[in-house]
């Protein structure tokens, strides 16, 4: 009698806990229970949880430039930040409508809600907004071109074209195996180099290694996204790197990407001595590697994707804290607005 009573008490609790664990990931993909305001819908379509990927290289590039002795150009830094965010918003919106029109966002989608696929916005609205965001980035980039010259012209135009071509055009970047490489370049090496150039700092080995570190963390976010979408991508004919490598290969690559900020740090330090405060984030990275390898896939990876974004943000936050503390004590001139 006692055993039956315990079973009746414990079994419902186990089922309830299981439901609670799956609730967070399930609600990311279900249609909203209540009508959303237009502002909330557009905020959803812009994918705010990913915008840190475009902001962090700008902040890290400024920090590196100032650490190397460049005088801060605060207005230039703000324009570069806004332009980078506009490019990512435009890319996200065009990806939203592009995936819908190509049939990649079907009812079996595992990722967060998409405004076009859910009928919250029309394809025409989303496409116009995406192109408008890229146009805004172009306008914001005009003063940067005047300051930085042809290198910024080339970098800016390539960024705009790739933002459009990520899901648009005859051969979308997102549908091939070079998505992670694209992210490594434009959310890492190119972004940091462009910011350092605009701040008047030299382009050297430190620039490359800082960009490499930020780029590999951004590529890891892309890899989680593509690992989650492997079944639907394969069904839609998208031959992403995750589809080619399989889940085991993705586990290895994710670990390699998250190891780069710590393996490459001695090379960055050799090029530009910086206090190793960012090593404090190593346990966080190791925990994410273990979690990724143990996750079965699907909706459960939505939370891990957001946590990988936060790792990059945490890494840059600790970097900035160390550099600002050092310069606040030793070189307070950095805080003079010019």
pLDDT mean over 33-50: 82
Residue 315 CA to residue 280 CA, distance in Å, equals 9
Residue 234 CA to residue 224 CA, distance in Å, equals 15
Q: Is residue 36 part of a domain?
A: no
Q: How far is CA 269 from CA 272, 279, 282, 314, in A?
A: 5, 12, 17, 19
Please give the structure tokens belonging to residue 51.
Answer: 């915008």
Q: What count of other Cβ atoms lies within 10 Å of the Cβ of residue 22?
A: 12
Q: What is the pLDDT of residues 105-116, one digit of tens each?
A: 655 566 667 788
pLDDT mean over 161-182: 88
Counting the structural domains of the chain, the total is 1
For residues 268 and 209, the answer to whether their CB atoms sit within 8 Å is yes
Beta-carbon contacts of residue 314 (< 8 Å; ≥ 6 apart): 281, 284
- 330 — pLDDT class (breaks 50, 70, 90): low
Q: Is residue 232 part of a domain?
A: yes
Q: What is the pLDDT of residues 207-222, one digit of tens each?
A: 999 999 999 999 999 9
Q: Is residue 38 part of a domain?
A: no
Using CB atoms within 10 A of its CB, is residue 120 exposed (0-12), middle (13-18) or buried (19+)?
buried
Residue 119 CA to residue 127 CA, distance in Å, equals 14
Residue 24 has pLDDT above 60, yes or no: no
Residue 299's pLDDT is: 77
Q: Is residue 54 part of a domain?
A: yes
How far is residue 114 CA from its own chain's centroid?
A: 17
For residues 183 and 211, the answer to whether their CB atoms sit within 8 Å is no
- Its domain, for residue 272, covers 44-329
Top-confidence range, 113-117, 158-162, 171-175: 158-162
Q: Is residue 222 part of a domain?
A: yes
How far is residue 162 CA from its own chain's centroid?
A: 15
Q: Is residue 7 part of a domain?
A: no
3-state SS, residue 105: coil
Q: Report the percentage of the chain scoring pLDDT > 70.
A: 83
Residue 43 CA to residue 53 CA, distance in Å, equals 17
Residue 329's pLDDT is: 60
Residue 235 CA to residue 238 CA, distance in Å, equals 8
Closest CA to 196 of 48, 60, 5, 314: 60
Using CB atoms within 10 A of its CB, is residue 314 exposed (0-12), middle (13-18) or buried (19+)?
middle
Q: Is residue 338 part of a domain?
A: no
Q: Is residue 30 part of a domain?
A: no
CATH of the domain at 238: 1.10.600
Residue 10's pLDDT is: 34
């Amino acid at each position: 009698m006692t055993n039956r009573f315990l079973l009746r008490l414990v079994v419902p609790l186990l089922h309830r806990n299981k439901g609670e664990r799956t609730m967070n990931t399930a609600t990311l993909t279900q249609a909203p229970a209540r009508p959303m305001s237009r502002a909330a819908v557009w905020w959803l379509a812009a994918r705010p949880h990913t915008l840190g990927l475009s902001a962090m290289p700008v902040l890290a590039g400024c920090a590196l430039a100032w650490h190397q002795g460049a005088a801060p150009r605060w207005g230039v830094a703000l324009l570069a930040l806004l332009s980078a965010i506009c490019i990512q918003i435009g890319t996200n919106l065009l990806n939203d409508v592009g995936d819908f029109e190509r049939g990649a966002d079907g009812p079996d989608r595992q990722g967060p809600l998409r405004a076009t696929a859910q009928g919250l916005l029309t394809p025409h609205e989303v496409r116009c907004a995406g192109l408008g965001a890229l146009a805004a980035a172009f306008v914001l980039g005009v003063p940067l071109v005047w300051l930085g010259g042809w290198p910024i012209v080339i970098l800016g135009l390539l960024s705009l074209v790739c933002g459009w071509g990520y899901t648009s055009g005859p051969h979308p970047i997102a549908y091939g195996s070079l998505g992670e490489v694209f992210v490594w370049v434009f959310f890492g090496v190119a972004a940091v180099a462009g910011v350092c150039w605009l701040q008047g700092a030299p382009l050297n080995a430190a620039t490359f290694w800082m960009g490499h570190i930020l780029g590999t963390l951004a590529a890891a976010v892309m890899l989680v996204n593509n690992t989650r979408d492997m079944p639907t991508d394969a069904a839609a004919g998208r031959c992403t790197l995750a589809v080619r490598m399989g889940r085991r290969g993705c586990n290895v690559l994710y670990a390699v990407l998250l190891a780069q900020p710590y393996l490459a740090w001695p090379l960055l330090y050799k090029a530009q001595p910086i206090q190793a405060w960012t090593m404090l984030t190593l346990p966080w990275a190791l925990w994410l590697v273990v979690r990724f390898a143990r996750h079965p896939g699907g909706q459960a990876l939505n939370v891990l994707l957001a946590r990988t974004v936060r790792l990059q943000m945490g890494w840059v936050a600790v970097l900035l804290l160390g550099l600002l503390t050092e310069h606040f004590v030793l070189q307070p001139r950095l805080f003079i607005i010019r």
